Amino acid sequence: MNMNPEPNPVFLFLSAFLLSLGLLATKFQFPALTLLSVSLLLAVFSLHKSRLSPRQDLLIPGACLVVQWIALAGLIRALVPHMFWLAAVAPVVVILPSLREGRLAYILVAAHFLIGLALIQYFGDPKIDVYVFQRDAASAFLAGTNPYSITFPNIFKPDSGFYAPEFVERGRVTAGFPYLPVSLLMTLPGSLLGDIRFSHLAATSLSGVLMLSMSRQPLARLAVVLFLFSPVTFLVVATSWTEPLLLVLLVGAGWAFRRSSMVLGAILLGALFAAKQYIVLVTPLVALLPVPHPRRAILVAALCAVLLVAPFALADIHGFYRAAVWWQFAQPFRLDSLSFAALIASLGGPRIAWLNFLAFPVAVFFLLRRCPRSLAGFLTAVSVAYFVFFILAKQAFLNYYSFVFGTLCFAIVAIEVGANTRGGPPNSSIGITGNDRGWISSRWTSKAPKRMR
């Protein structure tokens, strides 16, 4: 039986904070990787360290938020001067209410949304291929065209090396939409409103709302502040990277599982599987979720993913395979990646493109043994596993790590959810306390398995 304690939330907070700092220094590969390495180590150490004193629980995260707010204020002042007032007064009108119990804390989300709208307006159409892919694919879908059967303009120079040569011809990228269908479907509301990034901003805002609704503990609220007001979160939204769409599905699934909505949680988990290719790697870690039947949850999620992907794939099998499958394997090794594989290659060493695939199963095996069977254990395992996968990959950029950052923040909230209950042991092997009986009494089972009693 898994009797591992919950991870240390302060170590996870420090990990998320240092990760966000490292991502703001991506132009300087070695210092950024140093910060990321320390961040990863802190996330691993969180599995071995007990909680600090209540004063340290808030003092250390509070100091981190002061530094983050200085960075955010500088970003806003440089890019959107007329919004600087919001960054100046927000520590008073946002952070302090977030420590209080009640609906006043949701002012966090309103402030986040306003800053996000201002940054989207400032950035205009970002000069990045991900924006072109999503914008044109959404337009094609709304016009009745299969997004996996179209091509895109190549916004980079022919010799940029950003794409495999077989996918570039006469100034066009000869592959369809390179992600899975759910990420496309989630951008459609934004496309109808005039900008796909409205969907990304709505996703980060909804993630904040769901996390706030799960726990009123001060540290959980501070974790939401860390997520919503990190410059990394705003940069990912303003440049239209897809990770906010993934995170809101993960947060939604965790929220549903926590409220005993097992079917809804499994459906959202399936939608997550059908949103981006690398998410399928998380499948073994689903065993850490404290649900009565993890295998049944995986089966429902897999069925949901197949039903979401199949219509697009069957409409153009060759186009779907070329864009959503082969594209991922054919992408070139990027020396500008934020990974040790790129650092080794840039220093004259070999280009090792498969190191992350060797390290990932080792990380999963370790995490299955060390993480508790709880929502927080699952989220911590997902964070660490993907952290290892990205930091050794042939391609790894700010957006990849932003998913790790958001998951770390959600893991802190999940740990603090347990602090809301006082009816049972805080470190139950499956994350069930006295007030959590709804986890067991789901519609899938009328009688709890013996091993869960």
| pLDDT level of residue 82 (50, 70, 90 thresholds) | low
Please determine, for residue 443, whether its predicted confidence score (pLDDT) is greater than 60. no
Q: How far apart are CA 381 and CA 442, in angstroms?
A: 25
Please determine, for residue 449, whether its predicted confidence score (pLDDT) is greater than 70. no
Q: Which of 187, 181, 186, 142 is nearest to 320 (CA)?
A: 181
Q: How far apart are CA 194 and CA 188, in angstroms?
A: 10
Domain boundaries, the chain: 9-419+426-452
pLDDT of residue 430: 35
Task: Report the amino acid identity of residue 181.
Answer: P
Q: How far apart are CA 278 and CA 190, in angstroms?
A: 24
pLDDT of residue 431: 39
Count the alpha carbons within 13 Å of 90 in the hemisphere toward its beta carbon: 27
H or E element in which residue 377 lies: helix 375-391
Range from 83-87, 118-122, 195-199, 227-231 that averages highest in pLDDT: 195-199
Is residue 383 within 8 A of residue 412, CB to CB? The reply is: no
Please determine, for residue 438, whether its predicted confidence score (pLDDT) is greater than 60. no
Token readout for 240 is 């239209």
The SS3 of residue 173 is strand
The angle, 0 to 180 degrees and rounded to 10, between the axes of the packed helices 181-192 and 243-258 is: 100
Please determine, for residue 403, whether its predicted confidence score (pLDDT) is greater than 70. yes
Give the residue-averaged pLDDT of 402-426.
77
Q: How does pLDDT run across 160-173, given as a tens digit for each residue?
A: 788 988 899 888 99
Q: What is the average pLDDT value for the chain, to the nearest integer?
A: 85
Give the residue-averaged pLDDT of 53-61.
71
| pLDDT level of residue 123 (50, 70, 90 thresholds) | confident
pLDDT of residue 420: 53
Give the residue-averaged pLDDT of 217-226.
90
Please determine, for residue 73, whether its predicted confidence score (pLDDT) is greater than 50. yes
Q: Which of 411, 286, 371 is nearest to 15 (CA)?
A: 411
C-alpha dist (Å) from residue 297 to 180, 185, 261, 292, 340: 21, 23, 11, 9, 35
Please determine, for residue 105, whether its predicted confidence score (pLDDT) is greater than 90. no
For residue 173, the cross-strand partners are 152, 168
pLDDT of residue 96: 56
pLDDT of residue 238: 93
Q: How does pLDDT run across 286-300, given as a tens digit for each residue?
A: 999 988 888 888 999
Rg (CA), the chain: 21
Please determine, for residue 198, whether its predicted confidence score (pLDDT) is greater than 90. yes
Please determine, for residue 439, whether its predicted confidence score (pLDDT) is greater than 60. no
Range from 100-114, 149-163, 191-205, 334-348 that averages highest in pLDDT: 191-205
Give the residue-averaged pLDDT of 99-124.
79
The pLDDT > 70 percentage for the chain reads: 83
CA angle at 290 for the pair 287 and 291, rounded to the nearest 5°:
90
Please determine, for residue 328, whether its predicted confidence score (pLDDT) is greater than 70. yes
Between residues 344 and 77, the one the model is more confident about: 344
Give the residue-averaged pLDDT of 195-222.
93
pLDDT of residue 61: 87
| pLDDT level of residue 440 (50, 70, 90 thresholds) | very low
Q: Which of 200, 228, 271 is nearest to 413 (CA)?
A: 228
Per-residue burial over 345-371, b if 16 or more Cβ lie within 10 Å, else e, is beeeeeebbebbeebbeebbebbbebb
pLDDT of residue 66: 82
Q: Which of 34, 35, 107, 435 is nearest to 260 (CA)?
A: 435
Give the residue-averaged pLDDT of 304-312.
96
Give the residue-averaged pLDDT of 40-58.
78
pLDDT of residue 71: 79
pLDDT of residue 442: 39
| pLDDT level of residue 444 (50, 70, 90 thresholds) | very low
Whose tokens are 């090794």? That residue is: 333
Decide: residue 112, CB within 10 A, 0-12 exposed, 13-18 middle, 19+ buried. buried
Q: How does pLDDT run across 136-151, given as a tens digit for each residue?
A: 999 999 999 999 999 9
Q: Which of 64-73, 152-161, 195-204, 377-386 has the lowest mean pLDDT?
A: 64-73
End-to-end Cα separation, the chain, in angstroms: 12
Please determine, for residue 437, whether its predicted confidence score (pLDDT) is greater than 90. no
